[in-house]
Structure 1
Amino acid sequence: MQPFKAGKNVVIGENVTFGENVTLGHNVIIYPGVTIGDHCIIQDNAVIGKQPTRAKNSILPDVKHLPPTKIGSGVTIGTSAIIYANAELADDVFVADLATVRERVTIGEKTIVGRGVSVENDCTVGLKCKLETNCYITAYSTIEDYVFIAPYVVTTNDNYMARSKERYDKFKGVTIKKGGRVGANSTILPGKVIEEDGTVAAASVVTKDVKSEDLVVGSPARVIRKVPENQLLRNQE
């Protein structure tokens, strides 16, 4: 008896491991070696465990084969989402439709990855985060626990904008520490750090580190006041 329920045209590679009560939609593709926990839902056209394809002019190292994807229990993966090889999703992660989670990414328990979100390679995302619709998490970033990132936020990692060889050893993603929050349509420049409970207002451009519990606004973002006490993570129920 199969440990899963599958729709039409499902493709399952060799040595895929399923937990109990897994549901697969139509046209799902699961690559070899993937591990899927109990009570998972993988919706139509999702791709799990895809090996990355390197462009000929890419500066990324050419990796021939990455380890398989690991999916925890209680995970939902939406329609047409793509989870690359060597990604790890902890228990109760929710990945919405059209999202992409790249290789060497880890996502903590109960985090929500919204519709159309892109989490690029070599990122760490903590537990109980909310990455909302169409936000972009650039490669080599660290997102700690309880972080909120609003729709259409853009993070960046290349101060040289693809010019000069000097940039090759200076790529640096962003760091958003525990409880950090970023408002809609904001941009965070490469290497910048948002400290614990730091908050970025909508449509801001972060050109300097944001200190703990500061609220910054504008382009470039400047401190206007402290985050109200009732908004701090430690004061949430």
Structure 2
Amino acid sequence: MLSTKGENVVIGKDVLFGSNVVIGNNVVIYEGTRIGHSVIIQDNAVIGKQPTRAKASILPDVKELPPAVIGPGVTIGTSAIIYANAEIGEDVFIADLTTVRERVTIGAKTIVGRGVAIENDCVVGERCKLETNCYITAYSELGDDVFVAPCVVTTNDNYMGRGKERFDKFKGVTVKDGGRIGANATILPGKVICEDGTVAAGSIVSRNVGREILVVGSPAKELRKVPYEQLLRNQ
């Protein structure tokens, strides 16, 4: 049941709404999307969009993905785009201009900042904070309570190759529970930041980051242990 609906809203067939849903102006919600209770969708947002595939894309050509699922208490900002087959958990906040691609799951109470891009086939845990304009590359996995500062770049292609042999070498990054990445850091493909591992601002991570270790530099090297009082288990 819609509580408020703005002007020029387009709602596809078989969209399911919980109670107290508020929709702004010029919103598009595609067929079959499920929207929980007390969801706010602000102006110009697009929910449940089917992906389009470039001719040169390595992604499989999927004709029709399942609908998007938006959990209760979610806020979706102005001009955000959430693709089909995305699942957004309870009380997630998605800021303006964010893109959440297909086959992405986002856990409860996570904050996704302005202009963040989460590419296809990613898992983001609960209570994470992804700040303005950070980039989460395809096939990545973030645990719970992960912090990613503004303009962080994660990557999944080590080869920049031009032949088909590169297609089976893509690998996203893994950030385990409590991992933290400082502003403008770059994480190279397949690297793992272990529990409470911390990457200083501007660092380039070319090897795995150990549990409770702070790394700094280009390439990033171990500086010291993360202070005891800063560990996730002590919060």
Which bracket does the TM-score occupy, shorter chain normalised? over 0.9
Supply the AA of the counterpart residue of 2:27. Answer: V
2:109 equivalent in structure 1 = 110
Q: Is the 8 A contact 1:159 1:167 kept in 2?
A: no
Q: Is the 8 A contact 1:4 1:18 kept in 2?
A: no
TM-score when normalising by structure 2: 0.99
2:195 equivalent in structure 1 = 196
1:212 equivalent in structure 2 = 211
Distance in 2, Cα, partners of 1:3 & 1:168: 44
Distance in 1, Cα, partners of 2:2 & 2:127: 28
CA-to-partner distance for each residue in 1:137-196, whole Å, 9 max, x for gaps? 000000000000000000000011243322111100000000000000000000000000
2:166 equivalent in structure 1 = 167
| 1:27 maps to 2:52 | no
CA-to-partner distance for each residue in 1:209-233, whole Å, 9 max, x for gaps? 0000000000000001000001100
| 1:178 maps to 2:173 | no
| Post-superposition offset of 1:51 | 0.1
- Unmatched segments (≥5 aa) in structure 1: none
2:144 equivalent in structure 1 = 145
Distance in 2, Cα, partners of 1:117 & 1:207: 23
Percent sequence identity over aligned pairs: 73
Supply the AA of the counterpart residue of 2:72. Answer: S
Supply the AA of the counterpart residue of 1:19. Answer: G
Supply the AA of the counterpart residue of 1:65. Answer: E
SS of 1:59's equivalent in the other structure is coil
| Post-superposition offset of 1:5 | 1.1
Supply the AA of the counterpart residue of 2:205. Answer: V
SS of 1:39's equivalent in the other structure is coil
Q: Is the 8 A contact 1:108 1:128 kept in 2?
A: yes
Residues 211 and 35 of structure 1: CA distance in aligned 2, closer, same or farther (over 3 Å): same
2:68 equivalent in structure 1 = 69
SS of 1:230's equivalent in the other structure is helix
| 1:230 maps to 2:224 | no
TM-score when normalising by structure 1: 0.98
* Aligned ranges 1:115-126 → 2 under 5 Å: 115-126=114-125
SS of 1:223's equivalent in the other structure is strand
SS of 2:233's equivalent in the other structure is helix
| 1:52 maps to 2:51 | yes
SS of 2:214's equivalent in the other structure is strand
SS of 1:133's equivalent in the other structure is coil
CA-to-partner distance for each residue in 1:20-41, whole Å, 9 max, x for gaps? 0000000000000000000000
- Unmatched segments (≥5 aa) in structure 2: none
Q: Is the 8 A contact 2:205 2:218 kept in 1?
A: yes
Distance in 1, Cα, partners of 2:182 & 2:163: 32
SS of 1:67's equivalent in the other structure is coil
CA-to-partner distance for each residue in 1:97-133, whole Å, 9 max, x for gaps? 0000000000000000100000000000000000000
Distance in 1, Cα, partners of 2:33 & 2:221: 45
Q: Quote the RMSD (CA, aligned, Å).
A: 0.7
SS of 2:224's equivalent in the other structure is strand
Deviates more, 1:91-100 or 1:153-162: 153-162
- Give the length in aligned residue pairs: 235
Distance in 2, Cα, partners of 1:185 & 1:120: 18
Supply the AA of the counterpart residue of 2:79. Answer: S
Distance in 1, Cα, partners of 2:161 & 2:96: 30
2:37 equivalent in structure 1 = 38
CA-to-partner distance for each residue in 1:30-56, whole Å, 9 max, x for gaps? 000000000000000000000000001
Supply the AA of the counterpart residue of 1:120. Answer: E
